């Protein structure tokens, strides 16, 4: 879609991903941890006074990934959990069963080399 690979691999992109994944103040992480411990999404969202934007954007990202033929198995699993199509435990088992594939080509990050 025209993004530069360095955007996601740079400090801003990597920092944002790290904070979302590892910092307890992250709203998206909070939703994920609570879903993983068995709470229902409606209960989680109704108890929060802030928006976890990942809940409402996961489906849109999956639609774009499908349109551009980008494989996003982890986010697809998250979207299926949010849509109540998959339990967190089953999602982990499915993800752990996927074949290993090369995820990022070196030439995608450094096309001039």
Torsion-angle region of residue 79: left (phi > 0), alpha (psi -120 to 50) or beta?
alpha
- Report d(CA 26, CA 105) in Å as an integer: 30
42 vs 9: which has the higher pLDDT: 42
The answer to the question of residue 105 being in a domain is no
| pLDDT at residue number 31 | 96
Q: Would you say residue 62 lies in a domain? A: yes
Residue 33 confidence (pLDDT) above 90: yes
pLDDT in tens, 67-78: 999 889 999 999
Mean pLDDT of 57-84: 94
Assigned domain for 111 exists: no
Domain annotation covers residue 17:
yes
Question: Could you give the number of structural domains in the chain?
Answer: 1
Q: What is the mean pLDDT of residues 11-34?
A: 92
Classify residue 110: in a domain, yes or no.
no
Q: Is residue 112 included in any domain, yes or no?
A: no
pLDDT of 1: 80
Q: Can you give the pLDDT at residue 101? A: 82
Domain membership of residue 46 (yes or no) is yes
pLDDT value of position 72: 92
Does 112 score more than 70 pLDDT?
no
CATH number at residue 44: 1.10.1040.10
Distance CA 60, CA 99 (A): 25
**Cα-Cα-Cα-Cα dihedral sign, residues 47, 52, 58, 64:** positive
In a domain, 66, yes or no: yes
Q: Could you list the residue range(s) of the whole structural domain that residue 43 is in?
A: 5-98
């Amino acid at each position: 879609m025209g993004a530069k690979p360095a955007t996601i691999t740079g400090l801003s992109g990597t920092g944002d991903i790290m904070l979302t994944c590892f910092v307890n103040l992250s709203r998206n992480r909070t939703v994920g941890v609570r879903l993983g411990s068995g709470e229902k999404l409606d209960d989680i969202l109704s108890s929060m006074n802030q928006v976890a934007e990942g809940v409402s954007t996961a489906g849109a990202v999956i639609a774009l990934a499908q349109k551009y033929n980008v494989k996003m198995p982890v986010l697809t699993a998250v979207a299926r959990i949010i849509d109540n199509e998959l339990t967190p435990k089953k999602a982990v088992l499915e993800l752990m069963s996927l074949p290993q594939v090369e995820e990022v080509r070196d030439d995608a990050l450094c096309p001039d080399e």
